[in-house]
Amino acid sequence: MSGPYVIRGSVSLPEAELMWRFSRSSGPGGQHVNTSDSQVELRFDLARTEALPPVWKDRALRRLAGRLTDGVIAVRASEHRSQWRNREAAAVRLAALLAQATAPPPKPRRPTRIPRGINERRLQEKKQRSQTKRGRSGRDWT
């Protein structure tokens, strides 16, 4: 592997808690695809990990509830022909998923009001446009 996969700040995925499983990739291929286990499934026990701060862990468990199976999150990668590159892709994908799931919630939107001048200008332009179109009608032409 190319080193620790940083989630955010100084928090990274511990290599000891990553569970790898390899299998044959599906889809078309040649002689190589039928004999090599290049598809990678990476599993990470989110419910039991001690690597994440408790606040992040709770946030991730809540946000990823639909993707978890008994508190474990699984990521698959099979887009590359080599197992090594699929391992890299799966680990990066898992780190990005956890980074997104542990991100703090966005600040609430502060409601703003439209300035009176802008609204008056818009209404004035509408009146002017209405006058222009009304002047185009051929009612008074004699």
Q: Is residue 134 part of a domain?
A: no
Separation of CA 12 from chain center: 18
Residue 91, phi then psi, degrees to nearest 5: -65, -40
CATH number at residue 24: 3.30.160.20
Q: Is residue 137 part of a domain?
A: no
Q: How many domains does the chain have?
A: 1
What's the domain range around 28?
Answer: 6-102
Q: Is residue 123 part of a domain?
A: no
Tell me what percent of the residues of the chain surpass a pLDDT of 70: 88
Global pTM reads: 0.69
Q: Is residue 135 part of a domain?
A: no
Statement: residue 35 has pLDDT above 90: no
Would you state the pLDDT for residue 29?
A: 62
Q: Is residue 15 part of a domain?
A: yes
Would you state the pLDDT for residue 120?
A: 96
Better pLDDT: 117 or 52: 117
Q: Is residue 140 part of a domain?
A: no
Q: Is residue 114 part of a domain?
A: no
